[in-house]
Amino acid sequence: MFSSLPICTLPYDGKCELNIVVNIHGVEKDLSVLIDTGFTSGTGFGLKLPTEFARYAKFIGTGYVRVADGRQVATDSIPDGKIIQIEDHKFGKDGLTIPTLFMSGPVAVGVMFLQLCVLNFDGPKKTATIEHVP
């Protein structure tokens, strides 16, 4: 289990990004990720990290995924990437386990994570808020 996330206010100017700390089989990395509501939970994954981060994994799975332009792309993944911190809030020792892809392109967190949160976008005020609901 992980502790609840208080409301974080984020800038939202056409896109919304979160600062997170991920744990890839024991290696922690800070990065900024795009909140991507088009990265649905039906994809089976909830986090997309740069390809070079795959080197930190103790084991990896490989498979073909279809990308938006119709190409099949061989892609590495791990079933147990962990989000351990968002903005200033730590999720505790174990963090939140999210199946993770290693792909080129935008680094993104998807709906598999957002399903655990209340997320509000306020276009006119150019802010977004995110709150974890345990």
Partner 1 sequence: MAQFGTTLEKEGRCACFGLYGRKLLSSKYDLSLRRSVLADYEELNAVELRAIFGRQIVSNLSASFRKENNGRFIALTYTGKVLAVCNTLEALNKEIAKKHLKENYYIERLGHSTITQI
The site for partner 1 (CB under 8 A) is made up of 39, 41-45, 48, 51, 54-68, 72, 74-77, 79-80, 97, 99, 101, 103
DSSP code string of 76-125: EEEEEEEEEEETTEE--SS-EEEEEEE-SS--EE-HHHHTTEEEEEETTT
Measured from the CB atom, is 77 or 85 closer to partner 1? 77
The distance of closest approach from Cβ of residue 110 to partner 1 in the complex, given in angstroms and rounded to an integer, is 9
The distance of closest approach from Cβ of residue 129 to partner 1 in the complex, given in angstroms and rounded to an integer, is 27
Measured from the CB atom, is 61 or 123 closer to partner 1? 61
The distance of closest approach from Cβ of residue 66 to partner 1 in the complex, given in angstroms and rounded to an integer, is 4
Measured from the CB atom, is 26 or 124 closer to partner 1? 26
Q: Under a CB-based contact definition with an 8 Å cutoff, are residues 2 and 94 in contact?
A: yes
Q: Under a CB-based contact definition with an 8 Å cutoff, are residues 22 and 82 in contact?
A: yes
**Residues recorded for the chain:** 134
